[in-house]
Structure 1
Amino acid sequence: MEQLTKATLRRAALARRAVLSPDEVQFRSERLCEQLIQHFPMAQWRWLHLFLPLAKQKEPDTWRIIHRIWAEKLPVRLAVPVVQADGISLRHYELTPDTPLHQNRWGIPEPVATAETEVFPATLDAVLVPLLAVDAAGHRVGYGGGFYDRFLAECGPDTEFIGLSVLDEAPVARIGDVLPTDVALHACLTPAGIQRFRAS
């Protein structure tokens, strides 16, 4: 049996995601939005961090969550990441309906950064984390850059880490090459439901 390494799981998940139609991604993204609202106390959060989707990668369309929060006037404020010039670190900025956006070098939308709108990781109540696969302990497989592990390590002890996946799959038993610097999730949402790994 092939070992369940991050590289193996990443290739397989990207292939499965690539065959999803845009309509299917949207349907699954709406299910993720409903799961988030059903299972988490969003109205009690002060700050929710989420990623803006890269559509060509068939990522979850987090705009569904964003627009739902704005439409329902939930009190939670939103923060999104901006990749820094060093190519390995993130800083984070508030997202409002009036925030100007531009595309970074990977085609990912990012807010125009200002000192007044920067949000610090220690202030976040919850982070929605992109992933390709997850194991039964909450360890995730992302794109391999380590951006989110470094970022999550900067968050406060009570920040809740919630994975989002458009793939309707149960966690694998164990990822074979987890590193000491990998930060485990508290929960993962798929269109089918929620998997919890540890208490926040």
Structure 2
Amino acid sequence: MQDKATLRRATLARRQALPPAEIAQRSQQLCDQLFHQFSVAQWRWLHLFLPLAKRNEPDTWPIIHRIWAEELAVRLAAPVVQADGISLRHYELTPATPLLTNRWGIPEPAATAETEVPAAAFDAVLVPLLAVDCAGHRVGYGGGFYDRFLAQCRPGTQFIGLNVLDDAPVAAIADVLPTDVPLTAYITPGGVWRF
């Protein structure tokens, strides 16, 4: 059983070693898995993160562009880190939405009162992660942003982790906290797990 810090260090190093072309190919495989294994067209609202390219995060743009190209009814939203540095708010993402880069280099939709989406609206949330265990507990960057956000979502919302590494879930994470919100599913380029 490994702790979050150990898993975080090891996984970040392995992910950072992947060349951009590999990230692009694996991100497309994540997109294909999502559309093959989940009823994306039936969702009303999908929350997704916009990738931090310098950290080799999964690129969610293939998912976004496919939804727009197929003119699916599902609406999209992405997070904006708030000035307090610990919370997220969520704003609609359309082809016309201007994007701004935050202090960490993460693209965010321009925030307006009209385009804010409450956490309770989401049918599914795509969650960034570094590792996950067999109970659906995830290792992120350690800021707690997503655990606070997921706790605000309504019961029945699907929490789907994305990982460009083809890592199966580890047996257990040693230092899971009571505030950690487990995933309902986990996607890698080569597989899907449901919890």
TM-score by length of 1: 0.97
Q: 1:54 aligned to 2:82?
A: no
Q: CA deviation at 1:37?
A: 0.1
Identical columns (%):
75
| Counterpart residue number, 1:78 | 76
* 1:138 aligned to which of 136, 146, 150: 136
For residues 140 and 117 of structure 1, the distance between their equivalents in structure 2, rounded to whole angstroms, comes to 29
Instruction: Give the one of 94, 100, 111 matched to 1:96.
Output: 94
Instruction: Give unpaired runs (5+ residues) of structure 1.
Output: none
**Could you tell me which amino acid in structure 2 is paired with residue 52 of structure 1?**
L
Large movers: runs of 4+ above 4 Å? none
- 2: CA distance, partners of 1:185 / 1:94: 23
Amino acid at match of 2:72: L
Q: CA RMSD in A?
A: 0.5
Given the alignment, which residue of 39, 42, 45 partners 2:43?
A: 45
Name the SS for the 1:94 alignment partner.
Answer: strand
Q: Which residue of 2 aligns with 1:69?
A: 67
Q: How far, CA to CA, are the matches of 1:193 and 1:103 in structure 2?
A: 32
Question: Is it true that 1:32 corresponds to 2:30 in the alignment?
Answer: yes
1:39 deviates by: 0.5
Counterpart for residue 123 of structure 1: 121
Deviations 1:146-190 (A, max 9, x none): 000000000000110000000001100000000000000000000
Structure 1 residues 73-99: Cα deviation after superposition (integer angstroms, max 9, x where no partner): 111000000000000000000000000
What is the rounded CA distance, in whole Å, between the counterparts of 1:142 and 1:80 in structure 2? Answer: 17
Cα distance between partner residues in 2 of 1:23 and 1:117: 34
Q: Which residue of 1 aligns with 2:105?
A: 107
Mapping of residues 11-30 of structure 1, within 5 Å: 11-30=9-28
TM value normalised by structure 2: 0.99
Structure 2 unmatched runs, 5+? none
- CA displacement 1:15-68 (0-9 Å, x = unmatched): 100110000000000000000000100110000000000000000000010001
What SS does the aligned partner of 1:156 have?
Answer: coil
Q: What residue is the counterpart of 1:174 in the other structure? A: 172
Equivalent residues, number: 195
